[in-house]
Amino acid sequence: MIARCFSKDQGKISLIIKGARSKKKPKAAFFEPLSHVDLIYNYKPNRELQIVSKVSFINYWSSILSNLRSITLSMAMLELTEKTLSVEDPHPNLFKMLKDVLSAINEKESDPNLLFWFYECILLSHLGFRPNLEQNDLPGLNLPDLDNGPNSRLILASLLAERLDDLPTDPITEEDRKTISKYLWISLCYHFEGLSKVKSFQVARKILS
């Protein structure tokens, strides 16, 4: 079995799990999406696939699986992370943020839509493309006017502050949802190729708007 994981210390890595479906000690369950695991493997830089020797659960966000919107947005976050990160490019702060956002969705601490937007902002900022809310005229970039929604600019500014414990409480209208969702989607597609083909992200956009 081959798995792709986002690790705290080495970023995106590919692993080979020997005996994953063994009847005695199956390991496949550890590598289901939304599993937070502790891995031991012998890293060899000349290998594309690292061989796992031991694995154990740290956390599994099982409550997410009971809600269709939560699981759709969570899976979209995982795919978004997979498509935007380079191999073995560590981002420990981004790793922590993803873990904290998934935990917040699991514990139903806030609206999953708001948490998804928060992670999009985090991803853009940590990968060097922090949105400038006062600049909408980058070459080839046609962003929506944030003043189309009554609170869109305030909500985005609050999300970009990267305070998960202090998410915006401003009322979110239908126009705000459309404006914020489109603004972040266009920003991500501008900086990262191929995102429009991510199926879970297409479904997530329908939920967000």
Q: How confident is the model at residue 24 (pLDDT cuts 50, 70, 90)?
A: low
Q: Are strands 2-7 and 11-16 parallel, antiparallel or unpaired?
A: antiparallel
Mapped onto helix, strand or coil, the DSSP state of residue 50 is strand
Cα distances (angstroms) measured from residue 141 to each of 121, 124, 184, 189: 17, 15, 12, 10
Q: Report pTM.
A: 0.91
User: What distance in Å separates the CA atoms of residue 165 and residue 97, rounded to the nearest whole number?
Assistant: 12
Classify residue 56 by burial, with Cβ atoms within 10 Å: 0-12, 13-18, 19+: exposed
Q: What is the pLDDT of residues 59-112, one digit of tens each?
A: 888 899 888 889 889 999 999 999 999 999 999 999 999 999 999 999 988 899
DSSP state of 20: T
Beta bridge partners of 4: 14
Cα distances (angstroms) measured from residue 158 to each of 116, 155, 187, 200: 14, 5, 17, 26
DSSP state of 57: E
Q: What is the pLDDT of residues 152-200, one digit of tens each?
A: 999 999 999 999 999 998 889 999 999 999 999 999 999 998 887 777 7
Nearest by Cα to 76 from 179, 3, 181, 176: 181
Contact (CB, 8 A) for 195 and 154? no
Mapped onto helix, strand or coil, the DSSP state of residue 60 is strand
Is pLDDT of 48 > 80? yes
Q: Are strands 35-41 and 2-7 parallel, antiparallel or unpaired?
A: unpaired
Q: Which domains does the chain have, with CATH numbers?
A: 2-60 (2.40.50.140), 63-208 (1.20.1440.120)
Structure-block tokens of residue 203: 């479904």
Mapped onto helix, strand or coil, the DSSP state of residue 190 is helix
